[in-house]
Amino acid sequence: MQIYLPIAEMSVNVLLILGMGGGVGFLSGLFGVGGGFLMTPLLIFIGVPPAVAVGTEANQIVASSVSGVLAHWRRGNVDLKMGTVLLLGGLVGSGLGVVLFRFLRGLGQIDLAISLSYVVFLGIIGGLMFVESLNTLFRSRRPRKSAKAKGSGGRHNWIHGLPFKMRFRKSKLYISAILPFAVGLLVGVLAAIMGVGGGFVMVPAMIYLLGMPTQVVVGTSLFQIIFVTANTTFLQAFLNQTVDVVLSLLLLTGAVIGAQVGAKAGARLKGEQLRILLALMVLAVCAKLGLDLVLRPDDLFGLARGGGH
Amino acid sequence: MVWRAAVARAALGALLLLALLAAPARAQTQPLVADLSKHLVAITTGFSGTDVLLFGATDGPGDIVLVVRGPPGREVVRRKDRAGIIWVNADSVDFEDVPAFYWLATSRPLDEFANPAVLERHQIGTGNLRLPVADFAEIPPQTRTDFARALVRLKTAEGLYGEEQGVVRQLANRLFRAELHFPSNVPVGTYMVEVYLIREGEVVSAEITPLIISKVGVGADIYDFAHNQPALYGIAAIIVAVAAGWLAGVAFRKS
């Protein structure tokens, strides 16, 4: 069954798009990542123009994040205060990111910049997360209970010396607001350049940099992603007219259902197992994109897209 | 650059007008008449490509060549090159007035009946397409041909360029018909369907019929909304997404 996408200007199989939405939505609910870093390359792979893929994906992440955050909200796993500070940083960051995006596009190397930032960030984060969670897993197998529990202990002193200290009750943290703001800002910049929600950067940053408990991390990052991707959707629709609502509706129909199932499955898995799975997935995408950069392309020539009108 | 395209369009328009004005007067003696089963291809929500029937008659034996040309536009072809260990976009060539779509159909293989010079003059066949290069003087000829070949190859891979030899059916040396296939990714705009009657290697008669391809219905409305009211469209897209996400969340709580 085929449907014509008015903005992407192509016809696609409805079941294929629903399936892609469902699959990525499942992972999104499971890990608390928006899934953009999987869906955007997938959409480009099936022939959607990259600019439309990025704009539409942002819109779809809004939906799956709303649906995902509801499930976490009911379990009390959203730290609103932390989410708001992250969000403020995220909005500033995505503004900066849009400026940087335009600058890179002016240089004519935006494709390379996107691919490289994917490879670098997915590689670093996936690698760190994989090693860390393997360590945790082996430690927890020993009879001694994990002595080095997560929390505020063992942090560098200068971090505790930062001003604007705030108490984040849900996250059981008493840290400077500058820290989550900076994390949000960095993720916002990346989100704008890479055309993703940024959950795959934010989730590890919240766990390892801020020291938040894993349970709260997922709901809180989804909460923040809703607003950052809504902002991206608006900017893309307003500046580039690259948001295809038909494609987005199809994707989100699959994704919201997938996200619900994923969130339920996630509740049954241990934190370390979740992290190992997420790490492996991130590394797989990184390897694919890295190989594409390094291997000799099948066709050295290509048609430039998206800038023709 | 822009004025050249504008001049080309104006010239094309004038030619078309001339052809239209001349047509009724010559109707009696015309060696070739042809028409399409429809002159408007509507891209609706269910659009997944379409076929248009071209049919016509000749005043005697001869070979038929059909050329479908899409609206002309700019295309940029890039070539990757090695930088260190990674492949990056290096050179690029800008082509102007490149047909967005080009399809050739013939009654017999071209080399059996047509004079190569004639084919070149009428730009019949993807190899004979004139692809004007911007910054012509700065680009060496070898590079121009390499990139032009790549352009045709890439468009062919997308299903937008192609050649089909021997698919025009002829009946009793008088009537002919052919199915023109337009894929789902066909660009919108005004197309020209050219029909050539060839005898002894030369074009003895030709006819041009316009074909409009445009979006209609819900898809067209969405496209217009997105382009005319981009801010409202963005907000609407967000509202739809939030509502859909919330709906799914509520639906799943009950189960």
Domain count, chain A: 1
3-state secondary structure of B170: strand
pLDDT above 50 for A207? yes
Cβ separation of B89 and A111 shorter than 8 Å? Answer: yes
Distance from C-alpha of A160 to C-alpha of A120, rounded to nearest angstrom: 29
A146 to chain B, closest Cα gap in Å: 35
Of A90-99, B96-105, B108-117, the poorest mean pLDDT is in A90-99
Mean pLDDT of A25-44: 79
What CATH number should be reported for the domain holding residue B39? 2.60.40.1930
Does residue B246 fall inside a structural domain? Answer: yes
Amino acid at B113: F
Nearest to B43 among A4, A246, A253 (CB): A4
What string of DSSP letters covers A24-91? Answer: HHHHHHHHS---HHHHHHHHHHTT--HHHHHHHHHHHHHHHHHHHHHHHHHTT---HHHHHHHHHHHH
Residues B172 and B236 in one domain: no
Mean pLDDT of A6-21: 90
Q: Model confidence at B8, in pLDDT bands (50, 70, 90)?
A: low
Does residue A29 fall inside a structural domain? Answer: yes
Residues B169 and B54 in one domain: yes
Residues B160 and B236 in one domain: no
Does residue A299 fall inside a structural domain? Answer: no
pLDDT digits (tens, 9 = 90+) for B187-218: 999 999 999 999 988 899 999 999 999 998 88
Per-residue confidence (pLDDT) for residue A108, from 0 to 100: 64
Domain that holds residue A263: 2-294
Does residue B61 fall inside a structural domain? Answer: yes
Q: Is ipTM over 0.85?
A: no
Does residue A37 fall inside a structural domain? Answer: yes
Q: Model confidence at A87, in pLDDT bands (50, 70, 90)?
A: very high
Per-residue confidence (pLDDT) for residue B38, from 0 to 100: 92
Other CB atoms within a 10 A radius of the CB of residue B200 amount to 10
Residues B166 and B242 in one domain: no
Does residue B34 fall inside a structural domain? Answer: yes
Residues B179 and B234 in one domain: no
Of A101-110, B86-95, B228-237, the poorest mean pLDDT is in A101-110
Cβ separation of A256 and B245 shorter than 8 Å? Answer: yes
Per-residue confidence (pLDDT) for residue A156, from 0 to 100: 54
Does residue B101 fall inside a structural domain? Answer: yes
Domain count, chain B: 2
Cβ separation of A300 and B79 shorter than 8 Å? Answer: yes
Of A99-108, B79-88, B159-168, the poorest mean pLDDT is in A99-108
Which distant-in-sequence residues (6+ apart) come within 8 Å of A219 by Cβ? A32, A69, A72, A73, A75, A77, A78, A79
Does residue A201 fall inside a structural domain? Answer: yes
Residues B171 and B102 in one domain: yes
Domain that holds residue B243: 217-255
Does residue B20 fall inside a structural domain? Answer: no
Of A97-106, A210-219, B67-76, the poorest mean pLDDT is in A97-106
Residues B157 and B139 in one domain: yes
Q: What share of chain A in percent tops pLDDT 90?
A: 8
Residues B127 and B32 in one domain: yes
Q: Model confidence at B238, in pLDDT bands (50, 70, 90)?
A: very high
Does residue A305 fall inside a structural domain? Answer: no
Residues B111 and B187 in one domain: yes
Of A155-169, A212-226, A244-258, B16-30, the poorest mean pLDDT is in B16-30
pLDDT above 50 for B166? yes
Does residue B113 fall inside a structural domain? Answer: yes
Cβ separation of B253 and A246 shorter than 8 Å? Answer: no
Per-residue confidence (pLDDT) for residue A252, from 0 to 100: 84
Does residue A275 fall inside a structural domain? Answer: yes
- Give B-chain residues touching A253 at CB under 8 angstroms: 244
Mean pLDDT of A254-260: 81
Residues B191 and B252 in one domain: no
pLDDT above 80 for B235? yes
* Tokens matching residue B166: 């021997």
Per-residue confidence (pLDDT) for residue B240, from 0 to 100: 93
Nearest to A304 among B92, B220, B233 (CB): B92
Is A112 touching B (CB cutoff 8 A)?
yes
Does residue A160 fall inside a structural domain? Answer: yes
pLDDT digits (tens, 9 = 90+) for A140-166: 665 544 444 444 444 555 666 677 778
Cβ separation of A3 and B187 shorter than 8 Å? Answer: no
Other CB atoms within a 10 A radius of the CB of residue A217 amount to 26
pLDDT above 50 for A291? yes
Residues B137 and B225 in one domain: no
Does residue B21 fall inside a structural domain? Answer: no
Does residue B18 fall inside a structural domain? Answer: no
- Give B-chain residues touching A55 at CB under 8 angstroms: none
Distance from C-alpha of B120 to C-alpha of B115, rounded to nearest angstrom: 9
**Residue of chain A with shortest Cα separation from B47:** A4
**Residue of chain B with shortest Cα separation from A75:** B253
Per-residue confidence (pLDDT) for residue A309, from 0 to 100: 35
Residues B176 and B232 in one domain: no
pLDDT above 90 for B4? no
Of A215-219, A257-261, B181-185, the poorest mean pLDDT is in A257-261
pLDDT above 50 for A23? yes
A259 to chain B, closest Cα gap in Å: 9
Q: Which of residues 23-52 of A touch B (CB under 8 A)?
A: 47
